[in-house]
Structures are given as structure tokens and as C-alpha cells.
Amino acid sequence: MGRALIEAAAGRADVQIRAAVDRPDAAGLGAQVVDGVIASADLGAGLDACDVYIDFTSPGATRTAAEAARAHTKPAVIGTTGLGPSDEEAVARLAEVAPIVVAANFSLGVNLVLGLVQQAARILGPDWDAEVVEAHHRAKRDAPSGTALMIGRAIAAGHGVDYDTVKRHTRDGDVGPRPRGEIGMSSVRGGDVVGEHTATFFGAAERIEIGHRATSRSIFAAGALRAAAWVVGKPPGRYDMLDVLGLK
């Protein structure tokens, strides 16, 4: 994603790469990423050089960056998934002093899918069985994906229920009949799949599928840069891509 962001920012008038920060053992440290910008492990210097930082890393690194950014009151765009309670707490504390955009997926198409699945769930109701299947490359660490969870929660919102009370992440063994209103979630890992998500609603003698397939990380980079340009100057708080796109 770092490389995708650098490539997507080239030639844009609204954003400019001013710093590139990586982990201390990264192979590319010391290399020039764009004119005048050298990859570094100095997070503080990177934050000082920018108006907003974009974070696609790991939960621990996201927590560290959010804690440092709070001291700098620095706006953020965060796309890291798989955050735990302590990571979420650090992000929430940053949002107390600076505006941040947090999303599991920065694609315009995916955010439209969220609206469509919520509307479908509201109209169809829990008598239609809802299942979400997501597929990603073999190196992805968290499952289900953050985007799949967003879709599951959108379906739950359409049903007017709490997702955590109706979710079923994978099935194995004698699980019994499918309960009414259950939202199923399955994960597939393999190859170099950028990201595929499909929400299926199963009715009597018919079914509806709403899906999205990403073929390049450039769509996520373009969305993140759009969010970065949008968030600077906003009041402190936590925003998402629906805010950025004006869909709320």
C-alpha cells in the first residue's frame, strides 16, 4: 500500500508526499521514494513534516503511530484492519484531539456496496438468509477481512440488530439448522487476490448477490488520498469514507 500511495500521489495537485516512515528493520530505509523524501524509521520527524499521515500497517504499528500523532495533534487516515481493544483505544484517543478517517476499505465501489446491502437487508428482512464470503491473498493475516465485517454490520443494521449477536464466522461439524436472522461469514485465502467480497441473500426459490472485486490496490490508494485531502481542517473526531464521499 505504501508503494501504491506513492504512485497514486504522483501528479496530484491536492496532496504531496512529504515523508515515508517504515519499521526499523525495513529493507528500503534510506532509499529515495520521491524527490526530496527519504524512507526513514523516524516517526516523529515524519509527523512533523506532514499535515496528515496515512497508515496501512499492522495493529501494533497503528497503535504506536496514533499515540505519537496525539502528541502532535496530527490528522490521520487509517486503513489498518484487525485492530484489538488497545489499538482501538489509541485511535479513539487520537480522535479526541484531531480529525481522523478510519475505514477498512477506501474503495468508492465498496462503500456503495455497504449502502446497497443495508438497503437490501432492510427490505428483505431476516427471513432471507444472509451470507458474506471474502477472498484475499495468502499473506493477509486477519480474518474475516475488515471489509467483510463492515458488510456484515451493514446487513445487521438493515435488520435492526447487533451484529455480534447474530454472526456466525465459518461453520464446522454438526452446527444444527441455520437460525433465522443469522449472518454467516466465510474467509478464503490464496494466491495474489487483492480483495473479493460477496453478500448473498437466499430467499425461497431465488437469491440476490451483491459483490465487489478489486484488481489493483490503486483504488484503495486513491480513496485514501482523497480522504487525506478532505480531513485536514475538519473538527476533531472519527470519520469514515461515507463522510468523505458525502453519502451521509
Catalytically active residues, by annotation:
136, 140
Give the HSE-up count for residue 9: Cα atoms under 13 Å, Cβ half-sphere: 22
For 8, counting Cβ atoms within 10 Å of its Cβ (0-12 exposed, 13-18 middle, 19+ buried), the class is buried
Per the CB < 8 A criterion, the answer to whether 241 and 223 are in contact is yes
Q: Of 192, 19, 2, whose CA–CA distance to 79 is shortest? A: 2
